[in-house]
Amino acid sequence: MDICDTRRAACDLGAHALPVFMICSNIFFMTDSPRSVAPERRRARGAASRETGRFERLHYEDTHDGWEIEEELVPLRTEIREERPRSLINYVRSPDLPFDRTINPYRGCEHGCIYCFARPSHAYLGLSPGLDFETRLVARPEAPQMLERELRAKRYKVAPLAIGTNTDPYQPAERDRRIMRGCLEVLRDFRHPLAIVTKGALVERDIDILGEMAAEGLVRVGISVTTLDADLARKMEPRAPSPRRRLAAIRRLSAAGIPVRVMASPIVPALSDPELERILEAGAEAGATAASWIMLRLPLEVAPLWRAWLEEHYPGRAARVMARLREMHGGQDYSSRWHHRMRGEGPYAEIVAQRFDKAARRLGLDAEQPRLRCDLFRVPARAGDQLSLF
């Protein structure tokens, strides 16, 4: 048996419009909800569905095709296509972020973290923030060349650049494509300040470059450790390195003189929040010199994906988890209000903040990190350039 990918026209024709179905060539059977993908096909994936993005007029569903034929369910494979961006540096104007520019070597992320707040960005590509986000990726192989061109522009003014704030630059595809490493080589040559956020142990591969930059005060790395429970991590972050492996990465980076921050992010109420102090202790023991935390965020399509994941994996805790989140966001699953969205508000949010502050102070993780240096920035000469006499 298998299921059929169908497209149901979701035009704004009113409540009495009849649904229109367009049948495609791939047919599979499923026994669960119409928008879900059979568990046999989504092993080691975070999301359970391929719900259409919010900008699409066509609505994608899986439905029974009427044929009672036993067929093998083929697991979903990761597909990667390439994109040639017209620009790479993305300037952000969010008043509650400590940076104003980012770059993304990839769109989508194979780590498949079910809670990832970047999932809705896949809707801009006409793809599902669910399973498409973690199986239909976009690589940007010309990112290093594009980055160099933008840094050479006369109008460019240096400020710390952030990588990994949307999708992980050290996801599995980077092992062969080496796009992130190419970007690092450019930033090193320009002596450009950089902050990296990742769960990927592949960051260890680039210790040679990161060590050079750290010696000049040009880089720091944040490693996200959401839980120390390997079983919970496997369900919540199915293709990310294990918690133990991430702590090993902190240890190796720290030993190389690279400043590392342990990030207890996101904290999941009634699921991972009891581990907060233990996560910070493990990070400090591994050599982290700073720490941070963010509460679970459920923007746009992430909220229904998260609720479905809870019902599948932790049905007994689902109501409690969602109640805690809603009490921090005025009764909603999430509020995007500036200076509120990262932590929430109310008694529970205040208790978590107090716990973090107390543990960070006890472990010496509360010191303010030195500012990344911007005064060393230079545009390196290219072959054939006229050299300066001064």
Q: Which amino acid is at 89?
A: I
Range ranked top by mean pLDDT from 11-20, 51-60, 228-237:
228-237
Domains and CATH numbers, the chain: 3-63 (no CATH), 81-363 (3.80.30.30)
Helix/strand/coil for 47: coil
The Cα–Cα gap between 331 and 354 comes to 23
Q: Which pLDDT band, with edges at 50, 70 and 90, does 37 fall under?
A: confident
Q: Which pLDDT band, with edges at 50, 70 and 90, does 386 fall under?
A: low
- Give 271-283 pLDDT, tens digit per residue: 999 999 999 999 9
Nearest alpha-carbon partner for 233 in 64, 373, 372, 111: 111
- Give 105-114 pLDDT, tens digit per residue: 999 999 999 9
What pLDDT, on the 0 to 100 scale, is given for residue 7? 32
Is the bond leading into 266 cis (omega within 30 degrees of zero)? yes
Residue in the block written with tokens 């809670």:
115
Instruction: Tell me: pLDDT of 188 over 70.
Output: yes
Over range 293-310, report the average pLDDT.
97
Query: Is the Cβ–Cβ distance between 46 and 236 less than 8 Å?
Result: yes
- Give 117-142 pLDDT, tens digit per residue: 999 999 999 999 999 999 999 999 99
Q: Which pLDDT band, with edges at 50, 70 and 90, does 35 fall under?
A: low
Cα dihedral across residues 170, 173, 174, 179: positive or negative:
negative
Per cent of the chain over pLDDT 90 is: 78
**In sequence order, what are the residues at sequence separation of 6 or more whose Cβ sits closer than 8 angstroms to the Cβ of residue 334?**
297, 298, 299, 302, 303, 325, 341
What pLDDT, on the 0 to 100 scale, is given for residue 50? 86
Which alpha helices (H) appear in the chain, and where do they start and end?
131-135, 143-152, 174-177, 179-190, 207-215, 230-236, 243-255, 276-286, 302-313, 318-328, 347-363
What pLDDT, on the 0 to 100 scale, is given for residue 199? 98
What pLDDT, on the 0 to 100 scale, is given for residue 85? 87
Nearest alpha-carbon partner for 253 in 241, 263, 242, 261: 261
The two tokens of residue 143 are 């990112």
The secondary structure element, H or E, covering residue 223 is strand 219-224
Instruction: Tell me: pLDDT of 288 over 80.
Output: yes
Instruction: Tell me: pLDDT of 21 over 90.
Output: no
Q: Which pLDDT band, with edges at 50, 70 and 90, does 78 fall under?
A: very high
Q: Is 0.95 surpassed by the pTM of this model?
A: no
Residue in the block written with tokens 């399973």:
131
The Cα–Cα gap between 55 and 72 comes to 33
Rounded to 5°, angle at Cα 75 from 83 and 28: 105
Q: Which pLDDT band, with edges at 50, 70 and 90, does 69 fall under?
A: confident
**In sequence order, what are the residues at sequence separation of 6 or more whose Cβ sits closer than 8 angstroms to the Cβ of residue 246?**
199, 201, 223, 224, 225, 240
